[in-house]
Amino acid sequence: MDATIKKICGGDVRLASRLIRDIEDKIPEAKAKIKKLYAYTGKSFIIGITGAPGAGKSTLTDALITELRKKNKTIGVLAVDPTSPFTGGAILGDRIRMQRHAEDPGVFVRSLATRGALGGLSQAAGDAIHVMEAMGKDIIIVETVGIGQQEIDIINHAHSVVVVLVPGMGDEIQTMKAGLMEIADVFVVNKANRAGAKQLQMELTSMLNLSSKAAAGWRPPIVMIGDAFEPATFAENTAELAQKIEEHHIYLQQSGKLTERMHRKAMAEINDALSACLLEPVLSSLAGSGELESFAEKIRNRKADPYSVAEEITQKFFKKQGKK
């Protein structure tokens, strides 16, 4: 076994952190490391937490860590930051908020930023999760702002998905619930002391009553969580959340659904890897030649269209491959 892999499997925080950073930076060696490390993954339970900005996901993650640590579970946390194609880094806030766990060797928190590559964030998140799995973490929490397709791709890495809603987010969030319904295993109505919380709960309940998924075995529970500034109630509520997630885990194992999810996850991972594997050599074959630039100019002047250009590039590349 490779020395680095061995150390990461032994829980080496420094080397694991470096590998995650290398994944993020798309350093080619990182891919080779993940390949070697893959055999030691697949044993952690992965919880996804998603919801709109301001829904209180980080505070909930923090509370979940506290709950799970009481049961002596080791934990990895991956906070995925969708804004960072710009900032080039991760949201500092997440780390700051989780700092009270920073001294706990049983908790490993990392943030992940994308740098704008196609399909890159979901793949990088998947690989970062693999690193944490290899480290032997019992539970991995992936936190992401869940709105777009890409965030949903990320959340598909999880076994159990918690969707966090808050009252009073306007009617646009309401129309989204139909979509969230498909991915949620557990609903949280957060800031449940606010006006509109009861109504949100009722709406979710009636949607669940109509849902075929809810009828087919697992009915996603709705956990009401009060204000974090009332510590006693909040601790009680988040303990309930941890309990519901555990129940879902048991359900997945007993029903055989866990295998089904793992299979779906494997299919998504092939797709991600395939996309990178195909696009990278083509783009690098063009890099530096100025060819891409002149194609872009043709497109801009409407002397060519993007599809014909892509076909031309692809044909050329395939021909070159054939001569090898």
Read off the amino acid at residue 270: I
Pick from 4, 17, 41, 285 the residue near a copy of itself by CB under 8 A. Answer: 41
Number of residues that bind a copy of itself (CB under 8 A): 90
Residue range at the interface with a copy of itself (CB under 8 A); choices 6-14, 49-57, 98-106, 249-257: 49-57
Q: Half-sphere exposure of 147 toward its Cβ, with a 13 Å CA cutoff?
A: 11
Q: Does 255 bind a copy of itself (CB under 8 A)?
A: no
Residue range at the interface with a copy of itself (CB under 8 A); choices 19-27, 69-77, 196-204, 293-301: 293-301
Helix, strand and coil content of the chain, in percent to the nearest 5, comes to 60, 15, 25
Mapped onto helix, strand or coil, the DSSP state of residue 162 is strand
Q: Which two tokens stand for residue 258?
A: 């866990």
**Minimum separation from the CB atom of position 250 to a copy of itself (A):** 20
Q: How far apart are CA 124 and CA 130, in angstroms?
A: 10
**Minimum separation from the CB atom of position 302 to a copy of itself (A):** 5
Window 53 to 82, contacts with a copy of itself (CB under 8 A): 53-58, 82
68 Cβ contact list (under 8 Å, min separation 6): 75, 138, 139, 242
- Cβ atoms of 67 and 242 within 8 Å: the answer is yes
| Contact flags string 261-290 toward a copy of itself, x per CB under 8 A | -xx-xxx-xxxxxxxxxxx--xx-------
**Minimum separation from the CB atom of position 39 to a copy of itself (A):** 5
Size of the chain in residues:
324
The number of angstroms, rounded, from the C-alpha of 215 to the middle of its chain's C-alpha atoms is 27
Q: How far apart are CA 89 and CA 111, in angstroms?
A: 9
Read off the amino acid at residue 24: E
Residue range at the interface with a copy of itself (CB under 8 A); choices 7-15, 33-41, 192-200, 224-232: 33-41
Burial of 249 (0-12, 13-18, 19+ CB in 10 A): middle
**Minimum separation from the CB atom of position 120 to a copy of itself (A):** 8
Output 206 or 243, the one with its CB closest to a copy of itself.
Answer: 206
Pick from 35, 70, 71, 100 the residue near a copy of itself by CB under 8 A. Answer: 35
Closest to 237 (Cα-Cα) out of 115, 60, 5 = 60
Closest to 186 (Cα-Cα) out of 158, 167, 212, 210 = 158
Residue range at the interface with a copy of itself (CB under 8 A); choices 66-74, 218-226, 246-254, 309-317: 309-317
Q: Does 26 bind a copy of itself (CB under 8 A)?
A: no
Output 179 or 231, the one with its CB closest to a copy of itself.
Answer: 179
Window 164 to 223, contacts with a copy of itself (CB under 8 A): 169-173, 175-176, 178-183
- Cβ atoms of 88 and 113 within 8 Å: the answer is yes
Q: Does 86 bind a copy of itself (CB under 8 A)?
A: yes
**Minimum separation from the CB atom of position 124 to a copy of itself (A):** 11
Output 13 or 42, the one with its CB closest to a copy of itself.
Answer: 42
| Contact flags string 125-164 toward a copy of itself, x per CB under 8 A | --------------------x-xxxxxx------------
Mapped onto helix, strand or coil, the DSSP state of residue 71 is coil
**Minimum separation from the CB atom of position 117 to a copy of itself (A):** 9
